[in-house]
Amino acid sequence: MNTLIYFLYKFAGATVTPPGCFFVLLFLLLFLGVLKTKERVTKRIYIFLIFLVMLMYILFMPLTARFLMSCLEPERPVLQDDGRPTLVAVLAGGGTHPLPNATPELSIELAEQSYQRLAEGVIVAKRNNWPLIYSGALDDGDPAAYETLIRTQLAIWGLKGEVIIEMASRTTWENMQEIAKVAERDGYERVVISTTAYHMKRSLWMAEQHMPGIELIPWPSGWRSTSFRLDINSFAPSARAFHDSCTAMREIIGLMAYKLRYF
């Protein structure tokens, strides 16, 4: 199958299944509206709506999602133990899910991002024998069950070093406030921040505001920009790409808002 036929095959598949079929329907209806209406104002409204749909289509493209995510996601540095006191900080913003067959001992599980962040933090802490702080509270639910879940998972992974679980913070800004208190109190000179890759730029900036004298080391996980291949499918609409585009824009806007607020 040559490249052109493959492209047409993939494009046809994308246009007959959601979300592509919705865009096809919208474009057809709007173009028919432009062709049939004779009122200038109505025609301009149709043209404006076409541009809005085109903008939405761009946000649904994997190419757009990859570009936006790549603006946020850093590479992972080479991490070495240089003898200075170091704290591994895991940000808990990924959330949890309730278990369908909950028991008094276990009623929730970590969401994918929370699991990735914790797993990567544990790897670093175990490898270098560094203490770990897990920072973040549940929006709702039982705090005791949440702490039990974290400590159980850490025990399964065999983490035997010092572990601090703080559940006072609800936002990334508050995460950094609480982590800074521990770092200052215990004299840590370096803090390794474990969070999702797209969340790292905002997390690092906030950490810099609260820990100006401490070396901050990013330890990202769960890269989204590398999950999209650059090929002909990069132009076909994808619900996952739209989700990632919106996530990236929320991160960018959130960082800008904090910088304006604390400028």
Q: Give residue 1's pLDDT band: very low, low, confident or very high (50, 70, 90).
A: low
pLDDT of amino acid 110: 84
Whole-number Cα distances in Å, 127 to 79, 158, 213, 214, 222:
11, 11, 25, 21, 20
**Tokens 């067959």 appear where?**
101
Tokens of 251: 């991160």
Q: How many Å separate Cα 41 from the centre of its chain?
A: 42
- Token pair 């983490």 is found at 159
**Residues of each domain in the chain carrying CATH 3.40.50.620:** 86-222
pLDDT, tens digit, for every residue of 43-54? 899 899 999 999
User: In DSSP terms, which residues pair with 219 in a beta bridge?
Assistant: 194
Residue 232 has a pLDDT of 73
- At residue 139, the pLDDT reads 63
Mean pLDDT in residue range 151-178: 92
Of 259 and 96, the structure prediction assigns the larger pLDDT to 259
pTM: 0.86
Which letter does DSSP use for residue 199 in this model? G
CATH superfamily membership of 86-222: HUPs (3.40.50.620)
Mind listing the pLDDT tens digit for each residue in 211-257?
Answer: 999 999 999 999 998 866 677 778 888 899 999 999 999 999 999 99
Residue 75 has pLDDT above 60, yes or no: yes
Q: Cβ distance 79 to 124 under 8 Å?
A: yes
Q: What is the mean pLDDT of the chain?
A: 89
Q: Are 195 and 223 in contact (CB under 8 A)?
A: no
- Residue 104 — pLDDT band, cuts 50, 70, 90? low
Whole-angstrom distance, CA of residue 244 vs CA of residue 263: 28
Is a pLDDT exceeding 70 seen at residue 189? Answer: yes
Q: Taking residues 145-155, what's their average pLDDT?
A: 89
Q: Which of 71, 10, 17, 26 is nearest to 239 (CA)?
A: 17
Q: What is the pLDDT of residue 123?
A: 96
Contact 198, 224 (CB under 8 A): yes
Tokens at residue 74, please?
Answer: 């850093």
Segment 4-40, tens digit of pLDDT: 777 777 777 777 888 888 898 998 999 898 888 888 8
Q: Which pLDDT score is estimated for 228?
A: 66
